[in-house]
Amino acid sequence: MQITLRIRRFNPEKDKKSYWGEYTLDKVDSTDRVLDLLHRVKWEQDGTLAFRRSCAHGVCGSDGMRINGVNRLACKMLVNKLGEGEHIKIQIEPMLGLRVIKDLIVDMEPFFEHYRQVMPYYVNDAPLPENGRERLQSPEDRERFDDTTKCILCACCTTSCPSFWANGVYVGPAAIVQAHRFIFDSRDQAADERLKILSEADGVWRCRTVFNCTNACPRDIEVTRAIGEVKMAIRQGAKRE
Amino acid sequence: MTTLVTTVKESLRYRGKVGQWSWMLHRTAGLGTLLFLILHVIDTSWAAFYPEEYENAIRQYQSPLFTIGEFGLIACVVYHAFNGFRVGILDYKPEWWKHQQRAAIYVFVATIVVLIPTFGLMVNHVIDFYTEEGQDIASLQEIIEVQVQFVLGLVVILVAALVLSALYGLITRSKTGLDLPGWAEKNLWLFMRLSGILILPLVFGHLAMMHVIQGVFDINGGGIDVIGTSAVNDSGKAVEFVGERWDMLVAGVAIWRVYDALLLVLVVVHGMNGLRNVINDYAHAPLINRALNWATIFGMVALVVLGAAALLAGVDETAYQIAKDLTPTAP
């Protein structure tokens, strides 16, 4: 099949404004990924096209971008999900709310800054158990935060959120998901500190339950639910048995 | 303010699902309701303080322009109420998120289901009014002359707020807008949910009485029963209608004053805090952010004070008399 790719291009050294570049690709398989198409454009037509990718298998979270209007990972999006027939048009833009460095590459630093704010690491200063081995956790306790362990920090959720578009000070869905992963971990001891950080003015209260994050997550994390649970935990204290 | 343009444009471009449309409609409906609320609190206070102006305000509300606006208002309130209920439930039951999409569609459907008969009843009032001979209907020019004063008032408040904010910036060298501490944001967040639930029955009762069962067209009808009371509006003046309601006593309590006072405080604070949330989303420059926040707080306090003063003062004999002395053709 034939694909027309419209890609939002921007080269800070040459362009004052971004513009749409159009590329036509022939002999595309319906099971090709959008990332394959970007590779073909870069390798066959225009070597100046810039985008991030690393593992190319939906694990590293490097190639988040807006594909046909929705945030997706280019490496997980198959062409046959984007249209039917012999000719398909696909539109690709950088994620919104972060500064565009070049073409599809955005400045992820503010995103990671929010991530670091929520102490996204395991905190437990208590002495080790007597046998000197690991701290045990029941399957139920592990299940409590299983969903939010899946996050790969691709920023698809945060850059789909109208509150984040409006105001970049909002800590954003991804950072709250990461906080959720530790807040509800029975072995962790810093839940209260994280809840305090997230109950600041730029924390969870800026969430307006729009559900764009949940719909955007390439790992199917129940993001809005996780945010809702953090809001509940701030009001009631994290429940741990 | 640039992010306002970005957000509006991209909210239309980003292909979010129904939740995104619900959010946009929720904001629009909230702001639309707030706009009318501001006018409404001010002019209802005239029933106590400037009876002639109150009669004229009612006359303007009976004009085609405001009649159309009233239909929009009812739609805004009903949608905002239902969708707010949906959001509130999801806040307390995050695990029900899987139903949110269906719930958002139910909200649209429920809004339409409620609006169809409501609009039917309202259209009846409109037809009754406009088919009656010799109605004194405010012209567009008169409406503009009066409403321009509200716009001017708003401009004055905004300019004053900007000047004060600039002075404040110069003196304190503050580089931030009006940021509330986290505990305040948390409590206001809770207040929005709690007040929303309390407002639901109050506002629906109010709308049913004042916009549907009776309406703005009945408020100055001579010899018409005054809803919620056993009185009859003998003079056919809007002032008497308001007075009869506020003076209605049940076991010594002026129930409609209590009702209106509750509604006033809850709705004004709910609405102004909603506006504050919108401002803090889009107005980032410290000067403008402070100014708009201050204007919002001023508006909130002013409306509560004005409304409460009118409720306490009530409609006295002089006001009745002034209203009664008006000839139907008076401006």
All residues of chain B having their beta carbon less than 8 Å from the beta carbon of residue A226 are 94
d(CA A152, CA A164): 19
Nearest-CB residue to A165 (from B3, B92, B97):
B3
The domain total for chain B is: 1
Bridge partners (DSSP) of residue A73 are A64
B330 occurs within a structural domain:
no
B120 occurs within a structural domain:
yes
d(CA B181, CA B298): 19
B331 occurs within a structural domain:
no
Residues of A with CB under 8 A from a CB of B: 66, 68-70, 96, 160, 162-163, 165-167, 196, 199-201, 203, 205-206, 208-212, 214-215, 222, 224-229, 231-232, 234-235
CB contact under 8 A, A228 and B90: yes
Q: Three-state DSSP class for B232?
A: strand
All residues of chain B having their beta carbon less than 8 Å from the beta carbon of residue A209 are 19, 23, 87, 90-91, 100
CB contact under 8 A, B10 and A68: no
Average pLDDT over residues B50-72: 92
- Among all residues of chain B, which has the CA nearest to that of A204? B186
Rounded percentage of chain B residues whose pLDDT exceeds 70: 98
Q: Where are the beta strands (DSSP E) in chain B?
A: 224-225, 232-233, 249-250, 253-254
Distances (CA, A) of A219 to A73, A105, A158, A222: 10, 21, 14, 9
- Least Cα distance to B154 among B53, B29, B38 occurs for B38
The radius of gyration computed from the CA coordinates of chain A, to the nearest angstrom, equals 20
d(CA B130, CA B135): 7
Q: Provide the mean pLDDT of chain B.
A: 91
CB contact under 8 A, B16 and A203: no
Q: Which candidate in A90, A225, A235, A239 is best for mutational testing of the B interface (most B CBs within 10 A)?
A: A225
Nearest-CB residue to B94 (from A165, A208, A225):
A225
Which residues are within 8 A (CB) of B187 and not within 5 positions of it... i.e. 6 or more apart?
none
Distance from CA of B29 to the nearest CA of A (A): 15
Containing structural domain, residue B188: 2-325
Domain CATH code at residue B209: 1.20.1300
Which residues are within 8 A (CB) of A116 and not within 5 positions of it... i.e. 6 or more apart?
none
All residues of chain A having their beta carbon less than 8 Å from the beta carbon of residue B179 are 201
All residues of chain B having their beta carbon less than 8 Å from the beta carbon of residue A118 are none
Token code pair at residue A67: 């594909």
Q: Three-state DSSP class for B35?
A: helix
How many interface pairs between A and B have CB atoms less than 8 angstroms apart? Answer: 107
User: Could you tell me the strand order of the sheet in which A87-93 lies?
Assistant: A19-25, A2-9, A87-93, A64-67, A70-73
pLDDT category of residue B285 using cuts at 50, 70 and 90:
very high
Q: Which residue has the higher pLDDT, A21 or B252?
A: A21
pLDDT digits (tens, 9 = 90+) for B65-104: 999 999 999 999 999 999 999 999 999 999 999 999 999 9
Q: Which residue has the higher pLDDT, A190 or A131?
A: A190
Q: Is B293 exposed, middle or buried (0-12, 13-18, 19+ CB in 10 A)?
A: buried
Nearest-CB residue to A205 (from B16, B94, B186):
B186
Bridge partners (DSSP) of residue A88 are A3
* Other CB atoms within 10 Å distance of the CB of residue A159: 28
**Beta carbons of B10 and A96 less than 8 angstroms apart:** yes
Give the pLDDT score at B327: 56
Residues of B with CB under 8 A from a CB of A: 3-4, 6-7, 10-11, 13-17, 19-20, 22-23, 87, 90-92, 94-95, 97, 100-101, 179-186, 188-190, 280-282, 284
pLDDT digits (tens, 9 = 90+) for A211-224: 999 999 999 999 99
- Least Cα distance to A155 among A95, A205, A236 occurs for A95
B149 occurs within a structural domain:
yes
pLDDT digits (tens, 9 = 90+) for B124-138: 999 999 888 778 888
B37 occurs within a structural domain:
yes
**Beta carbons of A204 and A230 less than 8 angstroms apart:** yes
All residues of chain A having their beta carbon less than 8 Å from the beta carbon of residue B100 are 209, 211, 224
Q: Could you write out the three-class secondary structure of A14-77?
A: CCCCCEEEEEEECCCCCCCEHHHHHHHHHHHHCCCCCCCCCCCCCCCCCCEEEECCEEEECCCC
CB contact under 8 A, B10 and A165: yes
Residue B192 has pLDDT above 80, yes or no: yes
d(CA B166, CA B174): 10
CB contact under 8 A, B94 and A231: yes
Give the pLDDT score at A87: 94
Residue B40 has pLDDT above 60, yes or no: yes
pLDDT digits (tens, 9 = 90+) for A91-121: 999 999 999 999 999 999 999 999 999 999 9
Q: Where are the beta strands (DSSP E) in B177-324?
A: 224-225, 232-233, 249-250, 253-254
Distance from CA of A176 to the nearest CA of B (A): 14
Average pLDDT over residues A3-31: 96
Nearest-CB residue to B281 (from A163, A209, A229):
A163
Give the pLDDT score at B329: 45
All residues of chain A having their beta carbon less than 8 Å from the beta carbon of residue B16 are 70, 160, 210-212, 215
B60: left (phi over 0), alpha (psi -120 to 50) or beta: alpha
CB contact under 8 A, A203 and B182: yes
Domains of chain A (ranges; CATH) run 2-105 (3.10.20.30), 108-236 (1.10.1060.10)
Give the pLDDT score at B1: 66
Give the pLDDT score at A239: 54
pLDDT category of residue B331 using cuts at 50, 70 and 90:
very low
B197 occurs within a structural domain:
yes
pLDDT category of residue B317 using cuts at 50, 70 and 90:
confident
Assembly ipTM: 0.91
Residue A241 has pLDDT above 60, yes or no: no
DSSP per-residue codes, chain A: -EEEEEEEE--TTT-SS-EEEEEEE-S--TT-BHHHHHHHIIIII-TT-----SSSSSSS---EEEETTEEEETTT-BGGGS--SSEEEEEEEPPSSS-EEETTEE--HHHHHHHHHT--S----SPPPTTSSPPP--HHHHHHTTGGGG-----TTGGG-HHHHH-TTS--HHHHHHHHHHHT-TT-S-HHHHHHHHTSTTTGGG-----HHHHH-TT---HHHHHHHHHHHHHH-----
Q: What is the pTM of this model?
A: 0.93
pLDDT digits (tens, 9 = 90+) for B218-262: 888 878 888 888 888 888 888 889 998 998 888 888 999 999 999
Distance from CA of B275 to the nearest CA of A (A): 13
